[in-house]
Structure formats: C-alpha cells, structure tokens
Amino acid sequence: MAGYLLNRLWQSIVLLVIVSIIGFAVLNLTPGGPLSQFALTPGMTQEAMDRIAEQMGLNRPLPVQYLDWGWRLLQGDWGTSYRDGQPVLDVIGRHITATLLLMGTSTAFSIAIGTWIGIHGATRPYSIFDYTVTIGAMVALSIPTFWFGLVGIYIFTLELGWLPAGNMYTIGDGSVLNYLHHLIMPSLVLSLVNVAVWSRYMRTATLDVINQEFVKTARAKGLTERRVLMKHVVGNAMVPMITLAGMQLPSILGGALVTETVFTWPGMGRLFLDSLGYSDYPVVMGLLMVSAILVLLGSLIADLLVALVDPRIRVS
C-alpha cells in the first residue's frame, strides 16, 4: 500500500509539472502576453513598455522565466496580482472557500440523488420510471449548465420569488440560513449534469452486480430482497462509483466556473474569468495550479478509498 501511494504521489507531481509548463507557455505566448493590460494605459509608449518588461523580468527567455516562477512557487511565493497588488495566495484564499462549498454541496446532491435513481432504475429495469429518468438524463446532458441557471433564476426568483438570484449572502445578514438560502439554486443547477451521469453509471453498476452468482446465492439462502440489495448489491456497486467521483472533479470544476458566473457566486471560477479579462496572469496561473492540485488530490483520495473498500485491490 505504501509503494502504491508513493507511486501515485510521484505521478501526481509529474502531472503538476506538465500542467504548469503548458499553462505558463500558453499564457505567455498569447497575443500581448502579460503586458497586454499595460498597453491600454493612456500615453503608454514602447520605451515604457520595455522598461516595465525589464522590471518584471519578462524580457528574459521563456524557459528562464518558468524556472524562476517555479522556484518561487516552491518557496511559497506565487507572485503578486497585477490587478490590486495583493499576493496571489491571498487573492485565491478569499475565493476558494466559496468554490469548495459549492462543489461539496453539489457533489453531495449528485451522489445522494444519482445513487437512489440508479438503484431504483436497476431494480425496475425498463419500467416507466426507468425510461423517464433515462430521458431526463439525456436532456440534462444535452442542455448547457448556464441555460438551467437562467431558467432557474426566471422561475424561482422572478416568477415565484422563492430563491435569490445570486451572490453568496445578503449584505447585513451573515446567518447560516441566509448562506443556505443562497446556496440552494446554484448547487442544484451544478449537480443536474452530475446527477444524470451518476445515475446512469450507478444503474449499470447495480445491474452488473445483481447478475453475479453471489447475489443469486444470497437469494437462494432466503434473504429478503431488501437485505440482498443493501448488504450485497449496493456495497459492491459503489466500488467503481468511488473512482467515478474522482474522475468527475474536472467537470465539476468546469461547471462551477459557469455556475459561479451565472449566479455571481464569489468563487474561483468567477475569479478566473475576471482575472483572465484583466490579463492578471499570476492569478490565472495560481488558479490553474490550485485546480490541478484539487483534481489530483481528489483522484488520489478516490483511489485510496477504492483500495480500502475493495480487498482485492489491496491484495494486488
């Protein structure tokens, strides 16, 4: 187990380096580069631009710039925001909690609802319920997240007035209930696509386990269908779903970017778009690295959970 963990950590480090190289190269090779926001300053001359580039070290070869950035990153210096002069880690730290809250809530919704739908559909295959949720899943996967968000705002905010249209809380009201009230709609919108994916995979995994010999043996021993389902089927069907949960993290992060924009949620996704529009490349690179770390960490935790749950993987 220790060898497996070390191997996965080594792979994660290599992937982080590759992601950082690609991200750094793409951002610095785009038209205008990191100096593009200074070019919009009235009265800015080429001489002034060259002086700024020299002060920021942007006139050096790109590999040298990357090595300098990477060395400072390892020392805890992620750079300074071009926008407000604040350290990048402080800027990201003010937004990461909101994103983790949104992602955690939507993931919990996805797992709970998707698991129930998948198991219910697998135990009643080709029923009206099964056909209905299959069609619903295809619709959810076909329609973009922002459309669900706009429709939700129109129905539950403009027409019914039940839920707020955006933001994380009401100014002047920092109660937990107020936070939860603002969290309901964005988390449900973000979880819709993931519920569709989770329910389809859970249905397939449950059907596969139901047809195994050990399940038939449990029924032959006289166990009730409910006991067979809860004790023998669901536990075994959840093993591949743990891996799926880790694989879903990139799509959840991507969906959070859109959802946070629609609902003006003050998370990393909204910060990424704002920083990209302002050409605040230190913050963009910082967000890229934090996102990559979260995805790799989630995948690593999922793999470890699978190894702990499934004795066959621990033995191998």
Query: In sequence order, which residues have a C-beta less than 8 Å from that of residue 160 and are 6 or more positions away?
Result: none
Q: What Cα–Cα distance (Å) separates residue 240 from each residue in 57, 124, 208, 266, 306?
A: 48, 21, 11, 33, 8
Distance of CA 25 to the CA centre of its chain: 23
Least confident of 42-51, 130-139, 190-199: 42-51
Mean of per-residue pLDDT scores for the chain: 85
Question: According to the model, what pLDDT value does residue 289 have?
Answer: 92
Amino acid identity of 234? V
Q: Which residue has the higher pLDDT, 14 or 39?
A: 14
Mean pLDDT of 71-77: 90
Task: Output the pLDDT for position 18.
Answer: 93
Cα 214 off chain centre by = 36
* Contact between residue 13 and residue 289 where contact means Cβ atoms under 8 Å apart: no
Q: How many CB atoms lie within 10 A of CB 168?
A: 20
* SS3 per-residue string spanning 197-266: HHHHHHHHHHHHHHCCHHHHHHHHCCCCHHHHHHHHHHHHHHHHHHHHHHHCHHHHHHHHHHHHHHCCCC
Can you list the alpha helix ranges (DSSP code H) found in the chain? 2-29, 36-39, 46-56, 62-74, 88-123, 128-142, 145-152, 176-210, 213-220, 225-228, 234-247, 249-262, 268-277, 281-309, 311-315
Higher pLDDT among residues 246 and 293, named by residue: 293
pLDDT tens-place string over residues 119-166: 999 888 889 998 999 999 898 888 888 898 999 999 999 998 898 988
| pLDDT tier at 1, thresholds 50, 70, 90 | low
Separation between Cα atoms, residue 20 and residue 74, nearest integer Å? 12
Report pTM: 0.83
Q: Say how far apart CA 124 and CA 52 lie, in whole Å.
A: 67
Question: Any idea what the Cα angle at residue 269 is, between residues 264 and 272, rounded to 5°?
Answer: 110
- 241-279 pLDDT tens trace: 887 777 777 778 788 888 888 998 999 988 998 888 888
292's CB contacts (< 8 A; 6+ apart) are: 15, 16, 19, 20
Least confidently predicted of 13-22, 61-70, 212-221, 242-251? 242-251
Per-residue confidence (pLDDT) for residue 155, from 0 to 100:
92
**47 three-class SS:** helix
Task: Read off the pLDDT of each residue in 36-49 and give the average, rounded to a whole number.
Answer: 74
